[in-house]
Chain A
Amino acid sequence: EIVLTQSPGTLSLSPGERATLSCRASQSVSSRYLAWYQQKPGQAPRLLIYGASSRATGIPDRFSGSGSGTDFTLTISRLEPEDFAVYYCQQYGSSPQTFGQGTKLEIK
């Protein structure tokens, strides 16, 4: 089973700043099958990024994903108030699929 470790656990930033979230895998993620999700309180998760770097439909271009192998990054170029939430990475290239433990992005 591939273990995904996200860092930091909590990230405190201000609107307008740049956010960089990390997801490290215990083994190489097949064919860049790495996704990022955003979850706000009381809501279902929402897909942001799939295939490590492709934005899902309707996702603003301030969200970008990069990486390959075992190291992946989600970058939010300029934080908007609605971006403060919990973010999860997921690998879906091998079974069982797995999620990271999440990074909470909070307002500083």
Chain B
Amino acid sequence: EVQLVQSGAEMKKPGESLKISCKASGYNFANSWIGWVRQMPGKGLEWMGIIYPADSDTRYSPSFQGQVAFSADKSITTAYLQWSSLKASDTAMYYCARMYSAFHIWGQGTMVTVSS
């Protein structure tokens, strides 16, 4: 079964760093793009970008370029989304999803709350 399991909810303070994870199983992780999608409270879906684990090729939305970083570890079939300095406006649900004929399979989401 193709599955993406994300790490648990996080509560952080402004200025702190954070790395959340997305563990893949049931398919060839290295050779499928994985994407990240933000959903702010009560709002719609925003495409953040995608990463190709085989060579770590990344494509960022201009809205998120320089604000976040994607990475992937093929040995443990896990993708990551990280921030070096969180802001209150980063408070949102973050989803990872496998690109295969669009976003074919989604993780359950990781809620990130940034508050002083």
Q: Given the known A-B contacts A45-B95, A96-B61, are A35 and B47 also in contact in the complex, defined by CB atoms under 8 Å?
A: no
CB of B19 within 8 Å of the partner chain: no
Which of B68-76, B79-87, B104-112 lies on the face that meets chain A? B104-112
CB of B101 within 8 Å of the partner chain: yes
How far is B97's CA from A100's CA once the two chains are assembled, in angstroms? 17
Q: Given the known A-B contacts A96-B62, A98-B47, A101-B44, are A44 and B109 also in contact in the complex, defined by CB atoms under 8 Å?
A: yes
CB of B103 within 8 Å of the partner chain: yes
CB of A92 within 8 Å of the partner chain: yes
Distance in angstroms from A74 CB to nearest chain B CB is 13
Chain B residues with Cβ under 8 A from A92's Cβ? 99, 102-103
CB of A10 within 8 Å of the partner chain: no
CB of B45 within 8 Å of the partner chain: yes
How far is B106's CA from A45's CA once the two chains are assembled, in angstroms? 7
Q: Taking chain A's interface residues, is the majority helix, strand, or loop, or is none over half, making it mixed?
A: loop
Interface residues of B in 48-75 (CB under 8 A from A): 49-50, 59-63
Chain B: interface residue total (CB-CB under 8 A) = 25
Distance in angstroms from B89 CB to nearest chain A CB is 19
Chain B residues with Cβ under 8 A from A45's Cβ? 37, 45, 95, 97, 103, 106
How far is B101's CA from A92's CA once the two chains are assembled, in angstroms? 9
How far is B65's CA from A3's CA once the two chains are assembled, in angstroms? 18
> Residues of A with Cβ closer than 8 Å to B?
1, 33, 35, 37, 39, 44-47, 50-51, 54, 56, 88, 90, 92, 95-102
Can you add 4 more A-B contacts, CB < 8 Å, to A1-B62, A97-B47, A99-B46? A37-B45, A97-B61, A99-B44, A100-B44
